[in-house]
């Protein structure tokens, strides 16, 4: 999941968002609110690292540590994602253009005319729902996200 999270820009990955299924022993990730690197660009407490690999997790990785199964799994996951990048990008385009995600992509502060407006606390009028300017802004943000994912799977 670390490599998938890195490629997709999943943020807010901490132990409270990773559950363990009692019956199967499988790991279940929850809370995908910070995706497409939105956590790295937020104003308050931006995430600076692509994924968390704490000492506690490293200690749980058998005798070989990160050079054993963890590394092999990461390399194989990236290899599979790169081999199937066309399918991955097609799926990602559907998610990026999802209207539920568009509110995260469309940052109203980006619509402010200049830094003086930001410092004075002037908030621009929100564009009409589905307006042309909103659609263009969402489209541009989506293109940037897809472009960044393409770079990672090259």
pLDDT one-digit tens code per residue, 27-36: 888 877 777 7
Residue 6 in domain: no
Q: Please tell me the total count of domains within the chain.
A: 1
The answer, yes or no, to whether residue 65 has pLDDT greater than 70, is: yes
Distance CA 138, CA 105 (A): 6
Residue 46 in domain: no
**Where is 28: in which H helix or E strand?**
strand 27-29
Whole domain around residue 130: which residue ranges? 86-154
- The size of the chain, in residues, is 154
For the segment 81-140, what is each residue's pLDDT rounded down to a tens digit?
999 999 988 888 887 766 656 555 555 345 444 444 545 554 444 445 556 776 777 677
Distance CA 96, CA 100 (A): 9
Residue 24 in domain: no
Question: pLDDT value at position 114?
Answer: 45
**By mean pLDDT, which of 4-18, 66-80, 101-115 is the weakest?**
101-115
Question: pLDDT value at position 14?
Answer: 74
Residue 76 in domain: no
What's the maximum distance between 2 C-alpha atoms anywhere in the chain? Answer: 58
Question: pLDDT value at position 24?
Answer: 92
The percentage of the chain sitting over the pLDDT mark of 90, rounded to a whole number, equals 10
Question: pLDDT value at position 20?
Answer: 86
Alpha carbon of 85 to those of 18, 79, 92, 149: distances in Å? 26, 10, 10, 9
Alpha carbon of 43 to those of 17, 40, 48: distances in Å? 21, 9, 12
Question: pLDDT value at position 27?
Answer: 83
Burial status of residue 45 (CB atoms within 10 A of its CB: 0-12, 13-18, 19 or more): exposed
Residue 140 in domain: yes
Both ends of the chain: CA-CA distance in Å? 19
Residue 143 in domain: yes
Residue 61 in domain: no
Distance CA 8, CA 149 (A): 7
Question: pLDDT value at position 151?
Answer: 87
Distance CA 142, CA 106 (A): 10
37-64: average pLDDT = 74
Residue 115 in domain: yes
Question: pLDDT value at position 77?
Answer: 92
């Amino acid at each position: 999941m670390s490599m998938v999270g890195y490629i997709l820009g999943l943020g807010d990955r901490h132990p409270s968002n990773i559950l363990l299924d009692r019956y199967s022993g499988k790991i279940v990730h929850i809370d995908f609110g910070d995706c497409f690197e939105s956590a790295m660009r937020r104003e308050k407490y931006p995430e600076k690292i692509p994924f968390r690999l704490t000492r506690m997790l490293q200690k749980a990785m058998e005798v070989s540590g990160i050079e054993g199964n963890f590394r092999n799994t990461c390399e194989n996951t990236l290899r599979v994602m790169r081999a199937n990048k066309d399918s991955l990008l097609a799926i990602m385009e559907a998610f990026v253009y999802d209207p539920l995600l568009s509110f995260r992509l469309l940052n109203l502060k980006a619509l402010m005319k200049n830094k003086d407006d930001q410092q004075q606390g002037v908030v621009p009028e929100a564009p009409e729902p589905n307006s042309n300017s909103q659609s263009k802004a969402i489209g541009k943000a989506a293109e940037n996200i897809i472009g960044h994912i393409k770079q990672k799977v090259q």
